[in-house]
Chains A and B, each alone.
Chain A
Amino acid sequence: MIAQIIFQLFIIIALAPLLSGIMKKVKAFFQIRKGPGVLQPYYDILKLLQKDSVVSTNVSWIFHAAPVVSFVAVLAAGLLIPIYTTQLYLGFAGDLIAVIYLFALARFFTALASLDAGSSFGGMGGSREMFIASLVEPALMLSIFAVALNVGSTNLGFISQTVSGLGFDAMSPYQILAFVALFIIAIAETGRIPVDNPATHLELTMIHEAMILEYSGKQLAIVELGAMIKQLLIFSLLANIFFPWGIATGGAGAAEYVLALLIFLIKIVIIGITMAVVETSTAKWRLFRLPELMSISLMLSFLAIVAVIIVKGG
């Protein structure tokens, strides 16, 4: 049991930079650049971990605590999300709502730290991050409702198990609507174009980068790694809520787990590539146009609920 938990943690931490590297490579391909190798994020993090931090004289202990708390909150969320198996030993600790709120906890501390150094960049980033979080939340909750209404539970292991048990019958209008809604939310949550640009350092456009501007060295390493893990987790949410086929449901041997892990890897790489394509084919939107994007997502998830009612005959 302990071994499985630690293995899941290890998988999450180990795969997150790889996913990030692959997405950067895909983007470079579309921009007709060679781009850094897919392993570059690992090198970056290792390098940062060896460096000392430069810390502002204005900050308090919040600044030091925030990256650690955020990182730990994201990791804890990782234990509640099915990665390659639906048999989560700690799955009863929390459900999908708990995952959302753990991400919120991580965001809360990052945004708090952004205010600590007293720079306008940090404040701007924190303000925008919380703004986008408030935009996302209603749509997110409605799409959770659509999924939970279909399955009857908000615990992720259970959702994956049920949907994968249904086979391809699970592909119903409400699943597709809820998936598209959650995909739009995933763009916002992982800080991708058109919501945020992860590659920018321009004051008018950056959100996440502005919040963490004051960090350096080891602290920056865990902030970056935390962001990558969060991205991986959100993609696995998408993969294992809507397309859980191939996930190990327990009872089989090691071979099943290896296969499930491979399938998982393929799934998140496909989602990653899709995300990179979306990113290269759109331009960043103005901050105050984002409510439009989020109301699309909100409408879709609302339609998903209506569809469930209609299909299931209320």
Chain B
Amino acid sequence: MVAFYLIGAISSVILNKKDSICSYFSFFSAAAGALIGAIFSISVIFGETFYLTPSQDSYLKFGFFVDKLSAFFILVISISVFAVSIFSTGYVKEYFGKKNIGHLGFLYNIFILSMIFVICANNAIMFLILWELMSIISFFLVVYEHEKPETRKAGFIYIVMTHIGTGFILLSFMIFAGASGSFSFETFNAAGMTMTPLLKDLAFIFAFIGFGAKAGIVPLHIWLPYAHPAAPSNVSALMSGVMIKTAIFMMIRVFFDFLGASGSWWGYVVLAVGTISAILGILYAVVEPDMKRMLAFSSIENIGIILIGLGASMIFFASGKPIISAIAAIAALYHLLNHSVFKGLLFIGAGSILYSTHTKNIEELGGIIKKMPLSAILILIGVLSISAMPPFSGFVSEWLTFQSLLLSFNLNNNFAIIMLSISAAFLALTGALAAYCFLKFFGMVFLALPRSEHARHAKEVNIPMLAGMGIFALLSILLGILPVYVLPVLDRITASFIGTGAFSQSISAGTFGMISIPSSQGISILTPVLLAILLILMLIPAIILLINRKTWQPNYETWGCGQPISTARNEYSANAFSKPVQMWFKSLYRPARETEVTYSSPYLKESFKFESRIEQVFEQYLYNPVVDFVMVKSRKAKLIQTGSIHAYLGYIFGILIILFMFVIAGGS
């Protein structure tokens, strides 16, 4: 697996003069690596933990280990990489002759490799090095189209935020290292049990902030809507679908494995942050006109949903209910898997639209369902999945999340019941707004009349791109109707960090693809496959009865109160479509609008310009003051930077003297 990625990376450097050969070599070897990765991870899930320790030296003991949890994440990565790589062979044609494909292929392969190594690392120092490597390579990928100024800005914000995150991770790991006296993750495991509650709390907070910055939790999310749209679409699919999940992986690792999820309030923190991220992420997504930014905001939302499941799981675990805790964790992991699939699909779908129309502004698209019929169907599947429509994949994981929140009634803790119920209400709002958002996306991009020249000249994308989307779409459907085969696998994984499997004790997957979750009094059952069969069985007669050849013949223009509607200017715009939400959450969006009217005579308007903007509250009120403060302070600090080498030598000398004094004082 590693070899294939390396071959992909090296061959793309060697072949970087020949665009097409280079792209085939790098992306197909990535796809091959992904296939092997998937097989390997499945073998670990059903088999034994895999160890690889090249160095047994007591000072620099490092190695790799792949347990069930890491194997699951390798599986998620491999699935996405496989589909995205196939898509990429078609997509990079866009860059032929304009950009260096060798660079892209090299970075792409190394990026995947770094993610896999991060998952497998068995030592804090090695982990941090690999984590940095992953961040920096993804930074290079973000600024791949560096000739655009906004891309450079995106790259800058990304690298700053990710380093703030790494700083906190470092702090957290130092606490563990201080307690265990070693940097090996195995000793962290033991140290977590013996640490004082205060140290545990600190380690939890630092780790949550540090990994949260990578996962994109609110308010550390600000880099996501810049970085993900700026990167090439195949890379954004991986960043959004997979890279931010490595942070979730480490959260599970640290909270459950190292810290034993012992703090009673930690779960509430994770739950609350998850709920806020979910709702704010989708609220920004609804009003966003740039489709890749919209998808990035929606990633924040989905990370929120995953964290709701994880938070609930931690609450149950800390209350001594491991079985319910396992159910909530299964819900979180299921959503994580689903999200990587449908978000991958939607990102490469957005890439296809961009490829074919050269715009990512929803307002400029429209009507391309007639030009790109196959892409439209595949993207519709992604849209239905992310909107949690039965029988597609998002529905199953949201159902599981709701059910696990409902199981709070098994706790004798009123606070927990109320918190989890409120969280469920927000989750419901999030789900409804997600449907709103993606309905707008699909309706505005694909339906009605084209709103610009860009959309008028759209054409269907090439076969590798369709194949990439097709793999994701197929998986979305399968994950939606056959959770009965997925859940036992997820149960093995959650059992590895919670200690108890939920299967056969509580949740069960029975005949006809039935999932049942019993509570104290009753039982809740869902059979997605039967729902799908029912829908299809009833669709067939309905279609035969109601749709005949004649109704397919369009024969009149759209009703416009007697006036023909012939231009796209009469259509409802994307902004107008999301206006009600904008009005509803006025206080959050703080919309700023400007109108500019010029008159040719007192009665005739010559031109009318209307502009409206949405404020990014977090940037405005949280980050700008901090940035300003740092700028002012650093300007003051500039005073000691004279630029003269003598002065610098003087500083070094001064510090040396102070250090010597410390050493002498310590020695005596």
> A residues engaging B (CB < 8 A)?
52-62, 64, 67-69, 71-73, 75-76, 79, 90-95, 97-98, 101-102, 104-105, 108, 111-112, 115-124, 126-128, 130-131, 133-142, 145, 148-149, 151-155, 158, 162, 213-214, 217-219, 222, 287-288, 291, 298, 302, 305-306, 309, 314
CB pairs A–B below 8 angstroms (10 shown): A54-B556, A72-B539, A108-B387, A119-B559, A130-B440, A134-B435, A141-B402, A145-B406, A152-B519, A152-B522
Query: Which residue of B is nearest A96, CB measured?
Result: B524
Whether the Cβ atoms of B417 and A309 lie closer than 8 Å is yes
Contact at A118–B449, with CB atoms within 8 Å? yes
Complex CA gap A218/B548 in Å reads 11
Interface string of B420-435 (1 = CB under 8 A from A): 0110111111011101
- Contact, CB under 8 Å: A127 / B578: yes
Give the residue of A64, A116, A141, A218 whose beta carbon is less than 8 angstroms from that of B427.
Answer: A141
Identify the stretch in B195-203, B253-261, B580-588 within 8 Å (CB) of chain A at 4 or more residues. B580-588
Contact call A64/B552, Cβ cutoff below 8 A: yes
Which B residues are in CB contact (< 8 Å) with A119? 558-560, 565, 570-571
Cβ-defined contact, A128 with B580, below 8 A: yes
A306 touching B418, Cβ below 8 Å: yes
Partner of A124, one of B431, B530, B572, B578: B572
* Inter-chain contacts of B303 with A (CB < 8 A): none
Known: A142-B428, A154-B403. 9 other contacts (CB 8 A): A55-B553, A68-B543, A68-B546, A93-B531, A104-B435, A118-B558, A148-B524, A152-B523, A153-B522
Contact between B425 and A127 (Cβ–Cβ < 8 Å)? no
Stretch at the interface among B69-77, B130-138, B388-396: B388-396
Residues in chain B near residue A69, CB distance under 8 A: 539
User: Is A57 touching B526 in the complex (CB atoms < 8 A)?
Assistant: no
* Chain B CB within 10 Å, residue with most, of A217, A291, A305: A305
CB–CB A291/B551 < 8 A: no
B435 contacts across to A, CB distance below 8 A: 104, 108, 130, 133-134
Residues from chain A with Cβ under 8 Å of B560 in the complex: 119
> Known interface pairs A93-B534, A134-B432, A305-B417. Does A155 touch B406 (Cβ–Cβ under 8 Å)?
no
Within 8 A of A (CB), among B467-486: none
Is B538's CB under 8 angstroms from A76's CB? yes
1/0 per residue, CB under 8 A from A, across B438-470: the answer is 011011101111000000000000000000000
B439, A111: Cβ atoms closer than 8 Å = yes
Q: Which residues of B contact A291 (CB under 8 A)?
A: 584
A123 to B539, CA, bound (A): 26
Q: Which of A121, A130, A149 is the most central at the interface, judged by chain B CB atoms within 10 Å of its CB? A: A130
A55 contacts B551, C-beta separation under 8 Å: yes
Quick one: closest A residue to B411, CB to CB? A314
Measured CA separation A162–B387 after assembly (Å): 32
Considering the chains assembled together, what is the distance between the CA atoms of A71 and B538 in angstroms?
9
Q: Give the residues in chain A near B552, CB-CB below 8 Å.
A: 55, 64
A18 CB to closest chain B CB, in angstroms? 22
Q: Which of B389, B428, B519, B552 has the most CB of A within 10 A?
A: B428
B390 near A126: Cβ-Cβ < 8 Å: no
Name the A residues within 8 Å of B399 (CB-CB): 97-98, 101
Q: Which residues of B contact A158 (CB under 8 A)?
A: 522-523
Q: Is the CB of A123 within 8 A of B576?
A: yes
B353 CB within 8 Å of chain A: no
Chain A residues within an 8 Å CB radius of B539: 68-69, 72
B519: chain A residues within 8 A (beta carbon): 152-153
Q: Please state if A68 and B572 are interface contacts (CB–CB under 8 Å).
A: no
Best-buried of B387, B399, B559 by chain A (most CB within 10 Å) = B559
Interface majority SS (helix, strand, loop, mixed), chain A: helix
Shortest A13–chain B CB gap in Å is: 12
Whether the pair A222, B409 counts as a contact (CB closer than 8 A) is: no
A151 close to B521 (CB less than 8 A): yes
Identify the 4 closest CB pairs spanning chains A and B, nearest first.
A123-B572, A152-B521, A153-B522, A152-B522
CA distance A64 to B436 in the complex (A): 21
The answer to whether A162 touches B522, judged by C-beta atoms less than 8 angstroms apart, is yes
In the complex, how many angstroms separate the beta carbon of A105 from the nearest chain B beta carbon?
A: 5
Given A151-B522, A153-B523, A154-B406: A52 and B550 interface contact (C-beta under 8 Å) = yes
A142 to chain B, nearest CB (A): 5
Docked CA distance A97–B402 (Å): 9
Q: How far is the CA of A52 from the CA of B399 in the complex (A)?
A: 41
Q: Give Cα A62–Cα B579 distance, bound, in whole angstroms.
A: 24
> In the complex where A120-B572, A152-B521 touch, is A105 in contact with B389 (Cβ < 8 A)?
yes
Structural contact, A68 and B556, CB atoms closer than 8 A: no
Taking CB atoms, residues of chain B closer than 8 Å to A142 are 421, 424-425, 428
Do A60 and B406 touch (CB < 8 A)? no
Distance of A306 from chain B, by nearest CB (Å): 7
Return the contact of B530 from the options A68, A90, A108, A134 (Cβ within 8 A): A90
Please indicate the chain B residues that have their CB under 8 angstroms from the CB of A136 in the complex.
Answer: 432
Q: Are B425 and A138 in contact, CB atoms less than 8 angstroms apart?
A: yes
Q: Enumerate chain B residues within 8 angstroms of A122, measured Cβ to Cβ.
A: 572
- The reply to whether the CB of B620 lies closer than 8 angstroms to some CB of chain A is no
B554 with A57: CB separation less than 8 A:
yes
Assuming the A-B contacts A68-B546, A133-B435, A154-B403, are A123 and B418 also in contact, with contact meaning beta carbons closer than 8 angstroms in the complex? no
Contacts of A57 in B (CB 8 A): 554-558
Q: How far is the CB of A227 from chain B (nearest CB, A)?
A: 16
In the assembly, what is the distance between CA of A116 and CA of B540, in Å? 23
Q: B527 contacts the other chain (Cβ, under 8 Å)?
A: yes
A115 touches B421 (CB 8 A): no
Rounded to whole Å, the gap between the CB of B362 and the closest CB of chain A is 12
Contact A94:B390 (CB < 8 A) given known A141-B425, A309-B417: yes
A153, B429: Cα distance in complex, Å: 22
Among A95, A151, A314, the residue within 8 A (CB) of B526 is A95
Task: Determine if B607 is an interface residue (Cβ-Cβ < 8 Å).
Answer: no
Contact B546 A218 (CB under 8 A): yes
Q: Are B579 and A218 in contact (CB under 8 A)?
A: no
Given A79-B534, A93-B530, A128-B580, the answer on whether A305 and B449 have CB atoms closer than 8 Å is no
Residue contact B534 to A309, C-beta cutoff 8 Å: no
CB proximity of B543 to chain A, nearest CB, Å:
6
CB distance from B323 to the nearest CB of A (A): 16
* Contacting residues, chain B, for A123 (C-beta < 8 A): 443, 571-573, 576-577
Inter-subunit contact A118/B581 (CB<8 Å): no
Known: A94-B527, A137-B428, A141-B425. A309 touches B522 (CB 8 A): no
B402: chain A residues at CB < 8 Å are 97, 141
Q: Are B417 and A94 in contact (CB under 8 A)?
A: no
Instruction: List the B side residues contacting A98 at CB < 8 Å.
Output: 390, 395, 399, 526, 531
Instruction: Name the A residues within 8 Å of B443 (CB-CB).
Output: 111-112, 115-116, 123, 126
Asked whether B521 lies within 8 Å of A138 as measured between CB atoms, the reply is no
Question: Which residues of the other chain, B, contact A56 by a CB distance below 8 angstroms?
Answer: 554, 556-559
Bound complex: CA of A137 vs CA of B547, how far in Å? 33
**Contact A141 B428, CB 8 Å, known A90-B534, A93-B531, A119-B565:** yes
Q: Residues of A contacting B526 with CB < 8 Å?
A: 93-95, 97-98
The CA of A118 and the CA of B369, in the complex, are separated in Å by: 13
Q: From A116, which residue of chain B is reached at the shortest CB distance?
A: B447
> Do residues A60 and B525 form an inter-chain contact, with CB atoms below 8 A?
no
B520 contacts chain A at the CB level, 8 A cutoff: yes
CB-nearest residue of chain B to A68 = B542
CA distance A148 to B525 in the complex (A): 13
Q: Is the CB of A145 within 8 A of B424?
A: yes
Whether A214 lies near B531 (C-beta < 8 A) is no
A59–B558 alpha-carbon span in the complex (Å): 9
Cβ-defined contact, A101 with B556, below 8 A: no
Candidates A105, A145, A154; contact of B524 at CB < 8 Å? A154
Are A115 and B389 within 8 A (Cβ)?
no
